[in-house]
Chain A
Amino acid sequence: MATLELRNVNKSYGSGLADTLKNIELAIDAGEFLILVGPSGCGKSTLMNCIAGLESISGGAILIDGADISGMSPKDRDIAMVFQSYALYPTMTVKDNIAFGLKMRKLPPAEIEAEVARVAKLLQIEHLLGRKPGQLSGGQQQRVAMGRALARRPKIYLFDEPLSNLDAKLRVEMRTEIKLMHQRLKTTTVYVTHDQIEAMTLGDKVAVMKDGIIQQFGTPQEIYNDPANQFVASFIGSPPMNFIPLRVQVRDGQCFGRLDSAAGAPGQACCELPLGAAAELEGRELILGVRPEQIQLAAAAAALPSLRAEVEVVEPTGPDTLVFVSLNQTKVCCRLAPDATPQVGSSLDLQFDPARVLLFDASSGERLRPGKRQATDNKVAQFKLG
């Protein structure tokens, strides 16, 4: 149980190269589960290695329980790590693998014996203790790797993409187990992944990274519902958020954006979105972000006007049916109920709540937030057929 704080952490390899980590600021409470998520090369693994002390930082400070540990060697930081490749010592038995760290710390043999037994029981790997890693399946190796980390009872666990070498089914199982384990042990954990589902399901806090910069740091719900920019919005969520380019028109002090459904039928299936009352936005290119599940079949009861669009592709996935249409020459995914089975080529009446869509700057990808006043003004969102 320890707090972890990163203060303005920087990391660069040599002077000529770009920084791999830029001004990283993070703080989590004792017992929290922090997810570092991002595409490969975003710096998340480097950051984890810096926390572990396997790589040195070029600037800033890393604090565990308020103590600066940035100058310490890895072994003194009281951190345990589970590696993507498991990194089990191939010539040692499972038992020796788990005991190695304890032996290095010169624990009395009896204590080591007891700790190995405890961990083995916890992870249900007692029957594997005499085997070598080469004789284990992927899932078993994964358990042993976790056992090695657990045995030390460190202040912080680091997980470096621990599930990415497992097949899909096992991955889901182990994900749940890790969550269970964390709920029981309540040890501060940092978990690196590129899988946004793992990020959403496991984390108390999520840091989305790109190009060595933390794009957003918050709870999974904040990241999902209120992404800081287009990158975060696109990275979290599956199927990903739709991004529809549009141009702002100002009419009566109100901003509108036009959505054209099909090139072939102009004026037939267009609608305009009220985007608030910022007159200076006139003529500006924006990106409209709307999640697939926010787009629904038009229902007469709803106060939302509908938009007619031609169905291009239908993908039934079981729990949902994904329907793809074109809006402003962009492919848009709509996540409909499984009983919706529209024909390709047919027309669908769709609607979504304009109050819930997100707006991004077309060039920078930064989030544009409407002011408070505008939000109340537009309590009733309206679609206008053009």
Chain B
Amino acid sequence: MTSVSVAQRRSSDVLLPPGEGGAKRRMRAVSLSRLAIHATLILACAVYLVPLLVMLLTSFKTPDDIRSGNLLSIPDVFTVIGWVKAWDGVGGYFWNSVKITIPAVLISTLLGALNGYVLAMWRFRGSQLFFGLLLFGCFLPFQVILLPASFTLGQLGLANTTEGLVLVHVVYGLAFTTLFFRNFYVSIPEALVRAARLDGAGFFTIFGRILLPMSVPIIMVSLIWQFTQIWNDFLFGVVFASGDTQPITVALNNLVNTSTGAKEYNVDMAAAMIAGLPTLLVYILAGKYFLRGLTAGAVKG
């Protein structure tokens, strides 16, 4: 069975066998088109992988190698000097990012879970309106809140602090985390909460004992989504942090775009890899949840 058919995707027994005469010809045409499909897909994979490959190759080259070879040339000597220098340059900021990301991810996920729980299971007059207002936050161009937010952070004494960035990320991540949990809890029968109420469980008991244990998948989605969003953030980092509190994305950008001295592309690429590795790793380990976050969060908005 090599014939390509949409219907055969899930069950291979639906197609009637083609007439004897045409069968061979069709088989050949079909396997040719299958070959073409595979070739195209492999080519596309190569195109998607090349930038990563180039980054890796370059990061292990010496500056001389970079000048004499090309993007895809194999380095004469593999050296980790680029990585060492990159870590010297951005390592501190890497930890900044960790210090910003972990609390912000945890707090925004917890708040989102509670919000989603209320919005799905304890609706009251106005809660739907609130959800609508919150949803808009998923589409908010952050430029429109940057100025007031920076004044507020200044007033609170949180300007240029890690805490300030955590706060900003929690506030503006809330829309997505709430959306995730609300949509997840909406799909859970309300009768479960009613049953628990009759059993004598209160608001937090129902949440902690019944809903949270069911929420593992959506917690994963929210954690991963928030992790990638906050780790990858540049705008808030560049606006609300300076000097020692900057996250790694800002540090990477500064490193790459400074015009002083000779360009060390191996260091640039190693630094870019360092900045990209955590999210890449999360993606490889938990791609399923990552994809669900993208589609659930983005589509069902």
Contact = CB atoms under 8 A, between A and B. Distances in A.
Please say whether the chains A and B touch (CB closer than 8 A): yes
Interface of A: 49, 52-54, 73-75, 79-81, 83-87, 89-92, 100-101, 104-105, 148, 152, 160
- Residue from B191, B201, B209 with most neighbouring chain A CB atoms (10 Å): B191
A86 B196 CA distance: 12
A104 B192 contact: no
A100 B194 contact: no
Given A87-B189, A89-B210, A91-B210, A104 B200 contact: yes
B195 A81 contact: yes
Nearest to A86: B191
Contact of A83 (B195, B209, B214): B195
Nearest to B216: A91
Given A75-B200, A105-B200, 20 more contacts: A53-B197, A73-B197, A75-B199, A75-B201, A79-B198, A81-B194, A81-B195, A83-B189, A83-B194, A85-B189, A87-B191, A87-B192, A87-B194, A87-B195, A90-B214, A100-B196, A100-B209, A104-B199, A104-B200, A104-B201
A48 B201 CA distance: 19
13 contacts: A52-B194, A53-B197, A83-B189, A84-B191, A86-B191, A89-B209, A91-B210, A91-B213, A100-B196, A100-B201, A101-B199, A148-B199, A152-B199
Contacts of B33: none
A89 B192 contact: yes
B155 to A, nearest CB: 41
B205 interface: yes
| Contact-residue size bin, chain B (C-beta under 8 Å from the other chain) | 10 to 19
Closest 8 A-B residue pairs measured CB to CB? Answer: A101-B199, A104-B200, A87-B191, A91-B213, A75-B200, A87-B195, A83-B191, A74-B197
Nearest to A158: B198
Interface in B144-197: 189, 191-192, 194-197
Contacts of A54: 194, 197-198
Contacts of A84: 191
Nearest to B215: A91
Contacts of B189: 83, 85, 87
Interface string B89-133: 000000000000000000000000000000000000000000000
Contacts of A148: 195, 199
B191 A74 contact: no
Contact of A75 (B198, B209, B210, B214): B198
B273 to A, nearest CB: 40
Contact of B205 (A81, A86, A90, A104): A104
- Residue from B198, B200, B214 with most neighbouring chain A CB atoms (10 Å): B198
Contacts of A85: 189, 191
Contact of B198 (A80, A86, A89, A91): A80
Nearest to B205: A104
A247 B151 CA distance: 83
B87 to A, nearest CB: 43
A152 B197 CA distance: 13
Nearest to B125: A14
Nearest to B194: A54
Interface string B197-236: 1111100010001100110000000000000000000000
Contact of A91 (B191, B196, B205, B214): B214
B147 to A, nearest CB: 40
- Residue from A49, A89, A100 with most neighbouring chain B CB atoms (10 Å): A89
Nearest to B189: A85
A148 B196 CA distance: 11
A104 B199 CA distance: 7
Contact of B199 (A86, A91, A100): A100
A152 B213 CA distance: 24
Contacts of A91: 210, 213-214
B80 to A, nearest CB: 47
A93 to B, nearest CB: 12
Contacts of A101: 198-200
A148 B205 CA distance: 18
Contacts of B201: 75, 100, 104
Nearest to B195: A87
Contacts of A74: 194, 197-198
- Residue from B192, B199, B205 with most neighbouring chain A CB atoms (10 Å): B199
A314 B133 CA distance: 61
Nearest to B190: A87
Contacts of B200: 75, 101, 104-105
- Residue from A53, A74, A86, A105 with most neighbouring chain B CB atoms (10 Å): A74
Contacts of A100: 196, 199, 201, 209
Contacts of B197: 53-54, 73-75
A81 B214 contact: no
A296 B209 CA distance: 62
Contacts of B195: 81, 83, 87, 89, 148
Nearest to A99: B199
Contacts of B209: 89, 100
B53 to A, nearest CB: 44
Nearest to A84: B191
A86 B213 CA distance: 18
